[in-house]
Chain A
Amino acid sequence: RKEVEQDPGPFNVPEGATVAFNCTYSNSASQSFFWYRQDCRKEPKLLMSVYSSGNEDGRFTAQLNRASQYISLLIRDSKLSDSATYLCVVGDRGSTLGRLYFGRGTQLTVWP
């Protein structure tokens, strides 16, 4: 069983649309949660951390449900520049462990 599962898509949406991505994680002891964005042939870049209370950064809203081990990302008013692969990432944040577990990514294409 994979540590992090996410819908690979692809999602193809018009500019201005709202799109939602979901992922689930298998380790109930996981402590840190993120969405990373990866452009084609580039490195993953942190989009936002995800907190239990939910958090918002401009057009992006992330939610975490620890009981269901479920993470979501909502993008409102999609822009062309949002086209990328979105990676759901979960971390062990123990005192010594720092490894991250990645989903395979969800590909988003925003068209004009």
Chain B
Amino acid sequence: EAGVTQFPSHSVIEKGQTVTLRCDPISGHDNLYWYRRVMGKEIKFLLHFVKESKQDESGMPNNRFLAERTGGTYSTLKVQPAELEDSGVYFCASSQRRTANNEQFFGPGTRLTVL
């Protein structure tokens, strides 16, 4: 079974530019999560989709971040315009709709560098 995939693996952009990250969850997983790790800090929650609906977006840092999951399959996270502090590793995770213990499977991450 294919795991969670993310694209691109790395992205280097300049401040003020736009970047779009993509996540393909494990097939059949209704729950999709975005997390971020900035250097020196812990991994932090950004938002949670159940199918195409945003269940919890309280972790989104500001309105420069826009996440979508049209059709309830893959998701995109757009940062526009990017700022220096947006640099970090963005992880996507997915889980089944009914999970005994909220087990989430993580993708390899997108390493974003804003110059």
- B1 within 8 A of partner (CB): no
- Chain A: residues with Cβ within 8 Å of the partner, total of 24
Which segment, of A13-21, A58-66, A69-77, A91-99, faces chain B? A91-99
- A29 within 8 A of partner (CB): no
- A44 within 8 A of partner (CB): yes
What class of interface size applies to chain B in its complex with A?
A: 20 to 34
Whether B31 contacts A98 by the Cβ 8 Å rule is yes
Report chain A residues within 8 Å CB of B4. Answer: 43
Whether B108 contacts A42 by the Cβ 8 Å rule is yes
Report chain B residues within 8 Å CB of A93. Answer: 101-102
Q: How far is the CA of A79 from the CA of B50 in the complex (A)?
A: 39
- A46 within 8 A of partner (CB): yes
Closest 7 CB pairs of A and B: A99-B45, A43-B106, A102-B43, A32-B102, A104-B42, A91-B102, A102-B42
Q: Would you list 15 pairs from A and B whose C-beta atoms are within 8 A, ordered by A residue?
A: A32-B101, A43-B109, A44-B106, A49-B101, A91-B102, A96-B50, A96-B55, A96-B56, A98-B48, A98-B104, A99-B48, A99-B59, A102-B44, A103-B42, A104-B41
Q: When A4-B42, A49-B101, A105-B42 are in contact, do A99 and B33 touch as well, CB less than 8 Å?
A: yes
Q: How far is the CB of B110 from chain A (nearest CB, A)?
A: 11
